[in-house]
Amino acid sequence: MIPAHVPDEPPLTYADSFDIPVLFRNGPADKPRRQWRTAKHKAWSGSDGFPAADGWYAPTTTWREIIKAATEVGRDVTPHLQNQPRYAHGELVARVSPLYAYLGAHPVKPRHPVPGAKGRRLTWNPVYAHGTELSARNAAGYRLGMTMTEWACRSLLGLGQTEHLELGGPVPALHKTFKDPKRTLPDLWGHHEAEELYWLIEAKGGDVGVGTLRKGWAQLAAGSKVLGAYAHRTVLVGASVRPGDDLFLTIDHDLHPGLPPLAPGGSDAADEAAGPGNLEDHLGGSDDALIGAARAQMLVYLALRSAPASQLRTVPVPADRASRHRRSGLTTPLEGDGLTFAMRADARRAATGAEEYTLRAGIRSMGLDDFLSCRIPGTEVHLGMSRKLFAACERLHEEDLAIARRTPGLRAEDQPAADLELSDEAQEERRLTQRRIFREQQEEARPRLRYLLRDAYEQGAASNWSDLLRRPREPELDLVGNVGLLESATPETYLAVSRSDLPPARA
């Protein structure tokens, strides 16, 4: 039973900010003995790469930023959802629900406070500490490790979009070697534009000890041996937490000089580099960034596309994308954005007595755009995107569906009945092979996709939501807003969480 002294009370409401202690070092070592509390931490000043010196840092982030990482990291399941987009909701629930179920927050007083720190850190909550069986703990640790690794690499260190290494890695000529089932390789890879390096990344989560980290380091060494002559960085992230203690990260890293990264297959030399951190910051000048951003948001697109009309709404945000370019993390909280607040107030005043069509045209003339959003059923997370990105995702989905239809063996109904008798391991290997075939065909289509997605993206700016959704009515335009939500946005996406459903302040 949970001890009697643990209060039974609803979560408190507060701005969703937390401090995450992070230790940078050049290789796995023993778990630090509560140095996440006792060491003298450096203030995090923001970076598009690794800090100049190893040691302890104390960056502050938001729950929204963590949920953003959770929704975007992991195996791409969208090839399996071509005909059943509603199941995208289930995958999104699976990615965020362990964090809501098992994480809490508690106040802390470090021995050496960092200026600007919030004095709150994440930890396991009493349900995890006292009532969760081992298999559920292992699953929660996996999801925590993947989420915090994505957060650290992208929000903190400026890495571009991550991808699962199981699909073949960054260099096409090495795909067969990366796919060798006899090799135990790391989880993820990415391309860091500012560093001009590939990153190989392994994620570990839970009560992470040195034995676990050494296994991760060995996985990275195996991946590094495959990547060989190409310049890359190996990154091992341990998201370590025990009941009653603070969540902290160890980031062990090593730099491997070599040949510069290759441009994406069929790349147009005139295409600008995608830039650090967030592909959405560079959609105006990079067709490859547009393809990457659309692919990264396909799960959200499928969830929006399949949501009932009653669950959809559009929320006004400033149309000026530059106001939401990466500065600290990937998302821009909107509750402190005076421009958004003032423009929404102007729109509400103009809305009195106006017809819906006139109103939508009016807010555009005021410099507002309306992003489509919906609450993911089973969660208190609201996800959305701009009409331009939605239109690009729609075109990409059509192309992916055509690939699935013309490729023998990709559909479940094409599988021989005998395959159903295969072991779990054999079935997983077969599914992995299917995903790899699918990804290879996606990459073969890249030169053609550049034009198709660019055209859709530009055409989307002038499209009505009813046309994009192929429905007779426009979604509800929400000018009043929900005071119970903490909202955030990127240049092309929207994310909000419920104030009353954040990790409780006393775990």
Model confidence over 101-159: pLDDT tens digits? Answer: 999 999 999 899 898 899 999 999 888 888 888 899 999 999 999 999 999 999 999 99
C-alpha distances in angstroms, 77 versus 67, 293, 299, 361?
18, 16, 8, 37
Cα first-last separation, the chain: 15
pTM of the entire structure? 0.89
User: For the purposes of burial, counting CB atoms within 10 Å of the CB of 222, is it exposed (0-12), middle (13-18) or buried (19 or more)?
Assistant: middle
Which helix (H) or strand (E) is 235 found in, with range?
A: strand 232-240
Contacts of 216 (CB under 8 A, 6+ apart): 28, 186, 202, 203, 204, 236, 238
Which conformational region is residue 412 in: left (phi greater than 0), alpha (psi within -120 to 50 degrees), or beta? Answer: alpha
Q: How far apart are CA 269 and CA 283, in angstroms?
A: 16
Max CA pair span of the chain: 68
Mention every residue, 6+ apart, whose C-beta is less than 8 A from residue 506.
7, 12, 104, 106, 107
pLDDT of residue 239 exceeding 90, the answer is yes
- For 370, phi and psi rounded to 5 degrees? -115, 120
Percent of the chain with pLDDT over 70: 88
Give dist(CA 421, CA 53) in Å, integer: 54
111 vs 426, higher pLDDT = 111
Choose between 43 and 324: higher pLDDT: 43
- What pLDDT, on the 0 to 100 scale, is given for residue 418? 55
Q: What is the mean pLDDT of residues 177-195?
A: 82
CA pseudo-torsion sign 327, 328, 329, 334: negative
Residue 87 pLDDT class (50, 70, 90 cuts): confident
What is the band of 70 on the pLDDT scale with cuts at 50, 70, 90?
very high
Q: Which of 98-107, 168-177, 225-234, 378-387 has the lowest mean pLDDT?
A: 168-177
**pLDDT band at residue 327 under the 50/70/90 scheme:** low
**Of the candidates 235, 209, 238, 251, which has an alpha carbon nearest to the alpha carbon of residue 31?**
209
pLDDT band, residue 325 (cuts 50/70/90): low
The angle formed by the CA atoms of residues 104, 106 and 108, to the nearest 5 degrees, is 150
What pLDDT does residue 269 have?
Answer: 43
Rounded to whole angstroms, the Cα distance separating 449 from 438 reads 15
Band (pLDDT 50/70/90 cuts) for residue 403 is confident
* Residue 465 or 423, more confident: 465
**Band of residue 201 on the pLDDT scale cut at 50, 70, 90:** very high
pLDDT band at 410 (very low <50, low <70, confident <90, very high): low
Instruction: Give the mean pLDDT of 19-32.
Output: 91
pLDDT for 274 = 43
Position 380 confidence tier, pLDDT thresholds 50, 70, 90: confident
Whether 371 and 494 have beta carbons less than 8 Å apart is answered as yes
% pLDDT > 90, the chain: 42
* Residue whose structure tokens are 């979009």: 161
Lowest mean pLDDT among 220-229, 232-241, 272-281, 460-469: 272-281
Say what the pLDDT of residue 426 is: 76
Phi, psi of 204 (to 5 degrees): -135, 145
338 and 359 Cβ atoms separated by less than 8 Å: no
- Report which of 136, 146, 118, 112 is spatially closest to residue 42, judged by C-alpha positions: 112
Alpha-carbon separation of residue 127 from 99, 116, 137, 241, 321 (angstroms): 12, 31, 11, 14, 41
Q: Work out the average pLDDT over 254-261.
A: 91
Mean pLDDT, residues 7-30: 75
Which pLDDT score, from 0 to 100, does residue 312 have?
94
| 395: nearest Cα among 293, 472, 475 | 293
- The answer on pLDDT for 329 being more than 50 is yes
CB contact set of 332 (below 8 Å; sequence gap of 6+):
323, 324, 488, 489, 490
**pLDDT tens digits for range 347-377:** 888 777 667 667 777 788 888 889 999 999 8
pLDDT exceeds 60 at position 267:
no
Residues 364-380 as b or e (16 or more Cβ within 10 Å = b): eeeebbbbbbbbbeebb
- Torsion 157-71-405-398 (CA) sign: negative
Please report the pLDDT score of residue 93 as a whole number: 93
Residue 420's pLDDT is 58
Rounded CA gap, 477 and 359, in Å? 9
406-435: b (≥16 Cβ within 10 Å) or e: ebeebeeeeeeeeeeeeeeeeeeeeebebb
Average pLDDT in the chain:
85
